[in-house]
Each structure stands twice: as structure tokens, then as C-alpha cells.
Amino acid sequence: MRDSPGGDHYSYTVYNDSQTARTFEERRFGGPIGEIVAETQAKVVATFIGPVQGRRVLDVGTGAGRAALLLARAGAMVTAIDASDEMLAVARERAATEGARIRFEHGDAHTLEFPDRAFDVVVCLRLLMHAPEWRRVVGELCRVADELVVFDYPSQTSFALLQAGARRIMHAIGVETEPYRVFGRREIARELASAYYRIRSVHRQFVLPIAVHKVIGSRRFTLFIERVLDDLGLAHVFGSPVTLVAERCESS
């Protein structure tokens, strides 16, 4: 198997910083809008996977361990990996505080050191958008999963397309930022199909940019306006991030 891309790519250097690791949870999930993001993520993952008691689950790019803890609380046998030792240190602390039994390992999503079909379910959140070689990552997720893979990505039909473009320009002129990638459903479905997986269900979250919601900072406003936009059918087209669950095809 090929070596991990690693090196100086921002997805490795940024998240292997102690300060970034210690503040990640608060920056991502703090405040009223962060709470909505966390609640929705937990609900969607639980709904997509179903009962996890006794099932083998791998959390790829575990970060501070949020998904791993969620799954462990529900009774799953969880292994969690991350390429950042600093993020793993935070995740281990959180698991120890809760008394959660999770096997944490240093690992890279591009080169998973596990046998084929080693896990019933593989979860990978907020990673694909930053991966240097995303197709390789999707292939690895599918290879080590026996039943389901769950991952998310920013949609190219959402406002994320504009933000991603702006970040790429800023990065190109030397501004320190994370120039993430956006995806279309067809290219994702095509890559999954090449690994003998098919999309079973999809959830789209916000129509308006998360940054706008955070500036307003009102849980009530966010829930109301996003419900209205969803009722108008806009979330189905413009909602982002997209979280999906894909299942292994019987022919594989």
C-alpha cells in the first residue's frame, strides 16, 4: 500500500497543533449554532447506523473523539484513529473522563492499517473536504467496512462553493487558511460504486451558510428559517454539509 501523502499539507500541520486541538470542540460546537450542529450530527449518525450494541465501529479522523464517544455510549466496540497526536490526546482525555472504552490509535485515512472488512461500520466526519487524496480515502473507508460507511462533505450546490473558492484564492496568495474542497453527489456516488458501495440515505443540513447563522447567534432563528427553507424544498438542493450512509452491494 502506498505511503500517506502527509508532509506539509495543511490538513496535517494545522490539526497537529496543541492550541488547535484544545480549542477545536468549542470553535466547532460551541454556542447555540454549534449545539445545533452537534445535535443534528448525533441524530443523523444514530439514525443512519441504527442499533450499535456490540458492533465493530471505526471512527476515522476522530479529532476530539465526539463521534467515537457517541458510539461507545450506545454500546459499540469503537476503534478511533487520527493523524494528529494532539487531537488524539484530547480525545483520550475525554474518553477517560467518561470512562468510555475506546481504542485510540494514530493512523491516516489514506492508508488504514486494518484488514479488509475489519469493521461492521466506518464513520468519517469533517475529513473528506480536507484530504489531499479524497478518492483514496473513500476507497479505504469502503475497504475496511463490512456493512456501512458514513461520511460527510460540503456540497458544491451550496454557499460552501463560494467560501471554498475564496479560501483557495487566499491560500494561493499566502494567507493562512484551510482551502477545503466541495463535492457533487454524482462524483461521490461514482467513487462509492467503484468500491462496490451504493448510497442508501442522505441528509442535508443548512441552506444558509453556518457563518451567517453564527453571526446572528440565535438558535430560534436558525431552527425557524431552516425549517421554512426546508419546507420550500431548498434544503434538498442547497443544503450543506451533506451526510450520507452507503451500504456494501451484495455483488461485492
pLDDT tens digits, 51-70: 999 999 999 999 999 999 99
CB 95 within 8 A of CB 28: no
Residue 91 lies in a domain: yes
HEC sequence for 169-189: HHHHCCCCCCCCCCECHHHHH
Give the whole-angstrom CA distance, residue 104 versus residue 92: 7
pLDDT band at 82 (very low <50, low <70, confident <90, very high): very high
pLDDT tens digits, 190-202: 999 999 999 999 9
| Domain containing residue 36: CATH number | 3.40.50.150
Cell of residue 57, nine digits = 465501529
Residue 216 lies in a domain: yes
Give the whole-angstrom CA distance, residue 32 versus residue 150: 25
Residue type, 110: H
Model pLDDT, residue 251: 59
Residue 222 lies in a domain: yes
Residue 91, CA distances (Å) to 10, 96, 166 in order: 21, 9, 31
Structural domain total, the chain: 1
3-class DSSP state for residue 233?
coil
pTM: 0.93
Model pLDDT, residue 1: 46
Residue type, 38: A
Give the whole-angstrom CA distance, residue 108 versus residue 115: 14
Residue 57 lies in a domain: yes
pLDDT tens digits, 104-154: 999 999 999 999 999 999 999 999 999 999 999 999 999 999 999 999 999
Cell of residue 98, nine digits = 467518561
Other residues' Cβ atoms within 10 Å of the Cβ of residue 53: 8
Residue 3 lies in a domain: no
Residue 166 lies in a domain: yes
H or E element at residue 119: strand 119-124
Q: In this predicted structure, which of 15-24, 71-80, 125-134, 227-236 has the lowest mean pLDDT?
A: 15-24
Give the whole-angstrom CA distance, residue 77 versus residue 54: 6
Give the whole-angstrom CA distance, residue 73 versus residue 52: 10
CB 124 within 8 A of CB 149: yes
Model pLDDT, residue 175: 83
Residue 101 lies in a domain: yes
Residue 127, CA distances (Å) to 24, 85, 222 in order: 14, 16, 25
H or E element at residue 57: strand 56-60
Axis-axis angle for helices 185-194, 134-144 (nearest 10) = 50
- Average model confidence (pLDDT) across the chain: 94
- Numbers of helices and strands, H then E, in the chain: 11, 7
pLDDT tens digits, 6-16: 667 888 888 88
Task: For residue 26, give its domain range.
Answer: 10-248
Residue 123 lies in a domain: yes
